[in-house]
Homo-oligomer: A and B are copies of this chain.
Amino acid sequence: MEAEAKAEAVKRLKYIEGHLAGIRKMVEEDKYCVDVLKQTFAVRRAIQKLETQLLQGHLQTCVVEGIKEGHEGHVLQELLELYSLADKR
């Protein structure tokens, strides 16, 4: 991953960790369940945005290189597996 994309991903992950710690505090303080659930949904959306960023980096580097070097079978199998896993999340 390029330095800029890496810094961005780390920043997002730190933010999500903080968000989750806040949710844990909400549970500890007996906040209303519906409000807690809205926050966990928000965390999942944030993780999906991070995944889109990671996938973009993967496509632009490993996938393009792999296909140009003739390893398309392996590269495409992984991509399909990711799509399939993403759907099962």
Q: Give the contacting residue for A51; candidates B14, B32, B37; CB below 8 A.
A: B37
The smallest beta-carbon distance between A77 and chain B, in angstroms, is 9
> CB distance B47 to A43 under 8 Å?
yes
Q: Interface SS of chain A: helix, strand, loop or mixed? A: helix
> CB distance B9 to A27 under 8 Å?
yes
CA distance A43 to B12 in the complex (A): 15
8 nearest A-B residue pairs (beta carbon): A33-B58, A13-B24, A59-B76, A44-B89, A67-B67, A9-B27, A41-B89, A17-B20
Give me the interface of A with B, judged by CB distance under 8 Å: 1, 6, 9-10, 13-14, 16-17, 20-21, 23-24, 27-28, 30, 32-34, 36-38, 40-41, 43-45, 47-48, 50-52, 54-60, 62-64, 67-68, 72, 76, 78-80, 82-89
